[in-house]
Structure formats: C-alpha cells, structure tokens
Structure 1
Amino acid sequence: MKLVSWNVNGIRAAVKKGFSDYFRETNADIFCIQETKLQEGQISLEHAEEYSQYWNYAITKGYSGTAVFTKVKPLSVWYGLEEDSEPEGRVLTLEFAGFYLVNVYTPNARRDLSRLEFRVDWEERFLGYLLKLDALKPVIICGDLNVAHHEIDIKNWKGNVGNSGFTPEERGKMTQLLDAGFIDSFRHLYPEKTDAFSWWSNMPGVRARNVGWRIDYFLASSRLSSLITDAKIDQFILGSDHCPIILEIAEIN
C-alpha cells in the first residue's frame, strides 16, 4: 500500500505547477494534502475521479485546510478533534478496516512565537485524540507537523535553536508523541540519513542549496513498524515550498 502526503501551499496554485501529473504518476492508494487554501466548490480535480475525496475546509478563506483522496472507501470520516468540526480545517481522520489515518496540518507557532502557547495546548489535545484512536486500532499520522525534531532534521540547526519550528517546546511535544507509542517512519528506516528535508524557505537559492527542514512526517503506531517497507522524500518535486513524502507499507488487516 502506498500513501503520499504533501503540503501543497494552495492546491489551485499547485495544480498550475504540475500537481496533477505527480498525482497520476504516483498512483497512490491514499493521497493526503495540507494547506489546500480554498473553500468548497472552488476546484474540480478531474485526475482524481477514481478516488473518494474528503475535504476539511477552514472557515477563513484562503487559509489552511486538509484533504484526503483514497481508492479504498473508509468506514467513517471525522473532521477535527473533540468535535466533528475544525475551524481551521487542520485534522481529517479516516477509519479503515485495519487502521485509522489522520491527516494533519499542525498550527505554526509564528515567527514571533505569539502562537506557541496555543500550539502547545493544541498538541496536548491532539496527542490525547491519537491515544484514543490507538486504543481501538493502529494509527497512521501524516502531514506537516511544523517541527524539525532533531538537529539532523534541519540544515542550520545552531542558528535556529529557539526559532519557530525548532523551539524546545515544539521538539519536546514531538518527543512526547513518539514516546507515547508512535514511530517516525523515515527515521525508523534511515536513522542516520542527512540532508533529507521536506521544506525550504522561498528566499533565493535556498532550495537549490538544499538548506531545508524536515517538518513533514509519516508517523505510525509502533506495532506497525514491521509492516513498513519504505519511507521516501521526493525532494526534487516542485510546485510548493514543501515536497511530497511517501510511505510504503504492507496491507494492514
């Protein structure tokens, strides 16, 4: 089974930059996107007709949002965390026979860290939500988690200590999540791999020099670790300031 996750930074803009071609070529069983930045009815993706589509739109226009395209119809779909709604469209959960899939776009703490407290509280609630799901069946989490967990996950880590996405609080929350019974699929398979990034600043020359951060993840319940066959980062795929990531895993029964 192949799963893809991509923060497209605006699906309408991404479609103009080759998203549809990549979508067709990857032929994923499940394709998740974050930062859709639209409202219902603003786009029609003809290349995805063979997929069931689920969209969680943010109330604010042109902001946030998540979507999942799946060849296997889910048993149920849940929008948000505690309630079946999500003002910023950040969480979309699909239940399948053998697992839950959670597509997430984690709140950014902002450059001035003005939203750090909100984010930390949000992550507490998110972890509680995941643990409730994990008690029922295994969970696969994918998306833009807006944190570089370790020094190996960011090119210039020394100069970014304490910055948004690399604060002790954010990194600590990622550690707490993994310690609660989940694995980072990429580091599970490639613990020492360097220069493996999924996001780059739009400043000139940054992406060409691969001065990036790894902030997009496929996490999974630890009991699924033996089923994971590969985890990839498609660093050379353009169309967004993020690149797609891929999880290949055996069928989960």
Structure 2
Amino acid sequence: MPPKRKASSSKRKLEESEPDTDAEYSEREVAKPKAKKAKKSSPPVNDQPTNKVLPVHIHFPPKNEACMRVATWNICGLAAAQKKGFKYYVEAEDADVLIMTETKVNNDPVDPLLTSRYPHRYWSIADKKSYSGTAILAKHKPLSVDYTLPGHPDPKSVKGRIVTLEFENLYIIGTYVVNAGTGLKTLDAKNEWNKHFEAYIRDLDKKKPVVWGGDLNVAPTELDLANPKTNWNKTPGYTEAETSAFARILSPPKDAVKEGARPFVDIWRKLHPDKRNYTYFSYRFNCREKGLGWRLDGFVVSERLVDHVKMCEIRSEIYGASDHCPVVIEIEGEL
C-alpha cells in the first residue's frame, strides 16, 4: 500500500508539460469537427474519468499471483512527472516490468524509488539533449538487452526509441515510436521505422513469443480517437500509411506468411472490441474534460500468447503527471 498523502495534495495544480525540444514533435493537433448552428455535437462515446491531476489515493486490484504484470507509460519527461505524483502510481501498480517512454533523461537516473524497486534498469537515451527516451525497468534479470533496430539506415535516430529485453520464455520490446510530425513532414521517417520494425519483431517472434509495449504512436482504427473523420490523413498517428503498417504487423500478407510470419494481436482492442477509451489527452483545448483523446499506447502480443493474457487495462484515472495514461497487462506464467 502506498503511503497516505496529505490532504493538500488534492489541491495540486496542473503544470504544463515540458515543451518538446524538436519541432517535428510539436503538440499533437486536435482537429475539431465543424460545429452546426442548429445542433450541438454529441460527446464522444467514452466512459473515462475527466480528472486533471492524479487521485490523492491510488489503489489497484492485486496482481494475479500466477501472472506477471507489465505496465507502460509515456511519462512526458521523468523530471516533470516526478513533481506531479509519478511515484504514487509506480508504488500502487508494482509491475514486474515497467516500460517508460518519452523519459527525456540525459543520463541514467538515480531515483531511490526506481533503484530499490527495480534492480535491473535499462535506459535508451537519445543523442539530442532532453529528447525522446525509452526505458525498461525489471524485477528479474534478462538474458540479454538490445537498444538497436537492426537494418535501420540511421542508428542515431533510433537511440532513445527502443529497448528489447530477452527473457527465458519471451521477449519484451519497449518503444517510443517515431512521430509523423506536424503537417506529416516526418512521415517518411516514420515509414522507414515501420519497415524495419516489422522485420525486427517478426524475426524475434520466430525465436520466442513477443510482448511489444509503449507509445506506439498510432491510432489503429476509427474507434481509437475522438474525431477520426477530421484527422484522417491529416494528423500524425492516423494516416493510411501508419494504420496500414500497424495492420500489417497484426495480419501479415500471404507472401510474409509463406516466409514464416505469424499474426500479432492488439490485446487491449481484442479484450475491449467496442470501447472508445483513450491513453492520450492533450493539455490544450480542455481535451481531458471533453473526452477528446487518442489511444496511442498499449500492448501487442504474439498470437500464441493471447490465451495467457488475463487482463489488459488502461489506467484511465492516472492522468496529470503526464498527458498520457498508463496501460497494464497481466500474462500467465513466468518471464
């Protein structure tokens, strides 16, 4: 149980997120439908809470003892998140493996909370200062660690975006996937990433099952964002190129199947086929209160792991330390 916080913590003010240091990752645009004069638009079909700071008390159901719990969270800067209640979520979740994206750290952090809870910590840090950043923290020591995306022509651009841990029974990949950029100006870079990442995840899957988690930076279907029509092929994360690349990973084409490619499963969508819940709400335009969000974060698993997944949930109430909500999965068995 996390320690009780003082009542005054309920009055924490929402701080602005750290500005992104690279123009290609400016605040995600929120395209709005044109308002009709005679009729108000209906609110999104979304039952998520609208809090703008973390709850004073955070509590989750205990982990299934037969399972391992893996969580992923885009923290939008570790330093900023730490000031807004980051540790209370980490303590309450108590995941066996914690994937963090957009850490924006410049060195391996020495955080007593993280070092005491996770003896094995792997930080992928970008060359550019206070930019991107991906980490996987684990209670169990992996067999191997990799920070590369094999075949990618620009290894420098990969730094800070991927960590792969190999365990006895599976691989865990954590990613902060490339953003297609304002005006889709870096869509070519996103396409390059997607091409090599698909080859990489398929190669790993031939060896042992894969759990891929993190900020995937794509809304796979129209159910995964509040305003699909007005954002289609205009806003990063919801274009034909991006959604098709993601769909191809889930359902490989016949030529890939002949070469041994197997399906993957967007496990949150599999378990919640009709829900419109989101993991990202921009701090701008009062998006959280209006339910204007995107489902950009989550887990994709090898199809043969699906029957072992006992839970996958968006921690919808965990908002305010970041403009993203965490996602958690429980998988039966050992790492």
Instruction: Indicate the TM-score class for this superposition, using the shorter chain for normalisation.
Output: over 0.9
Q: CA deviation at 1:202?
A: 1.6
Work out whether residues 224 and 278 of structure 2, in 8 Å CA contact, stay in contact via their aligned partners in 1. Answer: yes
Work out whether residues 53 and 68 of structure 1, in 8 Å CA contact, stay in contact via their aligned partners in 2. Answer: yes
Match of 1:192 in 2: 274
Q: Secondary structure at the match of 1:206?
A: helix
Structure of greater Rg: 2
Q: Does 1:62 align with 2:130?
A: yes
Q: Does 1:153 align with 2:221?
A: no
Match of 2:101 in 1: 34
Match of 1:237 among 318, 323, 331: 318
Name the aligned partner's letter for residue 76 of structure 1: S
**In 1, Cα distance between equivalents of 2:168 and 2:281:** 36
Matched ranges for 1:78-93 at <5 A: 78-82=146-150, 87=157, 88-93=159-164
Q: Which has the higher contact order (CA 8 A, sep 6+)?
A: 2
Q: Secondary structure at the match of 2:106?
A: coil
Deviation string 1:130-168 (CA, Å, 9 cap, x unpaired) is 011000000000011111110111111111111211111
**In 1, Cα distance between equivalents of 2:82 and 2:266:** 29
Match of 1:135 among 195, 206, 210: 206
Q: Secondary structure at the match of 1:55?
A: strand
Name the aligned partner's letter for residue 183 of structure 1: V
Name the aligned partner's letter for residue 201 of structure 1: S
Matched ranges for 1:61-140 at <5 A: 61-82=129-150, 87=157, 88-140=159-211
Q: CA deviation at 1:50?
A: 3.0
Work out whether residues 80 and 86 of structure 1, in 8 Å CA contact, stay in contact via their aligned partners in 2. Answer: no
Unaligned segments of structure 2, at least 5 residues: 1-67, 253-262
Work out whether residues 80 and 89 of structure 1, in 8 Å CA contact, stay in contact via their aligned partners in 2. Answer: no
Work out whether residues 184 and 218 of structure 1, in 8 Å CA contact, stay in contact via their aligned partners in 2. Answer: yes
Work out whether residues 151 and 196 of structure 2, in 8 Å CA contact, stay in contact via their aligned partners in 1. Answer: no
Unaligned segments of structure 1, at least 5 residues: none
Match of 1:179 in 2: 251
Report the number of matched residues.
251
**In 1, Cα distance between equivalents of 2:305 and 2:192:** 28
Normalised TM-score (structure 2): 0.73
Name the aligned partner's letter for residue 304 of structure 2: R
Q: Considering only aligned residues, what root-mean-square deviation do their CA atoms show, in Å?
A: 1.5
Work out whether residues 2 and 249 of structure 1, in 8 Å CA contact, stay in contact via their aligned partners in 2. Answer: yes
**In 1, Cα distance between equivalents of 2:156 and 2:76:** 19
Match of 2:283 in 1: 202
Q: 1:65 to 1:83 in 2, by over 3 A?
A: farther
Name the aligned partner's letter for residue 137 of structure 2: F
- Fraction of identical pairs, as percent: 37
Q: Which has the higher strand share?
A: 1
Normalised TM-score (structure 1): 0.96
Q: CA deviation at 1:204?
A: 3.5
Q: Does 1:169 align with 2:251?
A: no
Q: Secondary structure at the match of 2:89?
A: helix
